[in-house]
């Protein structure tokens, strides 16, 4: 496992600024844009997943180590399970 040591934490700074931007963008879309609710939810939902994914790679070093394949697989599978639990429950309970 190779890890290049950079002198400055460029990855983290970019990650932080992008997260900040996505957060503020989501807030603006939700609170100030006047779009219809389904559109807002879709946009901010996508932004949330994008920000989460980006933090996984840029902050949490998920691709490091020999176990990266299993680690990434584990997170992907957990997202599948999470979506099943959330969407499944909403669907089943909806009446």
Partner 1 sequence: MIWTCPIINTKGWEENRLKLDEFFVTGEPIIYVTEAGIALAMIGILFYLTYFKKWKWLWNNWLTTVDHKKIGVMYILVAVLMLFRGGVDALMMRAQLTAPNLKLLDANHYDGIFTTHGTIMILFMAMPFLMGLINIAVPLQIGARDVAYPMLNAFSFWTFAAGCALFNISFIIGGSPTAGWTSYFPLAGTEFSPGVGNNYYAVALQIAGIGTLITGINFLVTILKMRTKGMTMMKMPMFVWSVLIMCIIIIFAFPVLTVALALMTFDRLAGTHFFTMAGGGMPMLWSNLFWIWGHPEVYIVLLPSLGIYSEIISTFAKKRLFGYKSMVFSMLAIALFSYFTWVHHFFTMGNTAAVNSFFSISTMLIAIPTGVKLFNWIFTIHKGKVKLTSAMLWSLAFIPNFLIGGVTGVMLAMAAADYQYHNSYFLIAHFHYTLIPGVAFACFAGLHYWYPKMFGHMLNEKLGKITFWFWMVGFNVCFLPQFVLGLKGMTRRMYTYQEGLGWDNLNMVSTVGGVLMGIGFLVLVWNIAYSIRHGERDVTGDPWDGRTLEWATPTPIPPYNFAVAPVAEEIDAYWNMKQKKTPLYKKVDVKPIHMPNNTGMPFVAAVGFGLGGFGLVFSWWWLAIVGLIIVLGCLAWRSFDPDKGHHIPVKEILETEEAARGEVV
Partner 2 sequence: MSDHLDTSLPLEYQSEQSRLNIFGFWIFLGAEIALFATLFATYFVLSGMTAGGPSQLDLFKEKDVMIETILLLVSSFTCGLAIFSMRNHNKNAMLAWFIITLLLGAGFIYFELHEFIDYVHEGATMQTSAFLSGFFVLLGTHGAHVTLGILWGILLIIQVVRNGLNPVTSRKFFIISLYWHFLDVVWIFIFTFVYLGGLIQ
Task: Enumerate binding residues for partner 2 (CB under 8 A).
Answer: 1, 3, 5, 9, 12, 15-16, 19-20, 23, 26-27, 30-31, 37, 40-41, 44-45, 47-48, 51-52, 55-56, 59-60, 62, 64-67, 70-71, 74-75, 77-79, 81-83, 85-86, 88-90, 93
56 within 8 A of 75, measured Cβ to Cβ: yes
Question: In angstroms, what is the minimal distance from the CB of 66 to partner 1?
Answer: 9
8 binds partner 1 (CB under 8 A): no
51 within 8 A of 22, measured Cβ to Cβ: yes
Q: Where are the beta strands (DSSP E) in 1-95?
A: none
Question: Tokens 């389904």 sit at which residue?
Answer: 38
Question: In angstroms, what is the minimal distance from the CB of 39 to partner 2?
Answer: 10
- The CA distance from 91 to 95, in Å, is 8
1 binds partner 1 (CB under 8 A): no
78 binds partner 1 (CB under 8 A): yes
6 within 8 A of 13, measured Cβ to Cβ: no
């Amino acid at each position: 496992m190779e890890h290049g040591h950079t002198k400055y934490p460029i990855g983290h700074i970019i990650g932080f600024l992008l997260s900040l931007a996505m957060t503020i963008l989501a807030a603006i879309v939700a609170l100030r844009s006047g779009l219809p609710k389904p559109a807002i939810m879709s946009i901010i939902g996508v932004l949330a997943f994008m920000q989460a994914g980006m933090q996984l790679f840029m902050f949490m070093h998920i691709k490091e180590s020999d176990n990266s394949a299993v680690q990434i697989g584990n997170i992907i599978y957990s997202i599948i399970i999470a979506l099943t639990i959330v969407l499944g429950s909403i669907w089943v309970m909806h009446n």
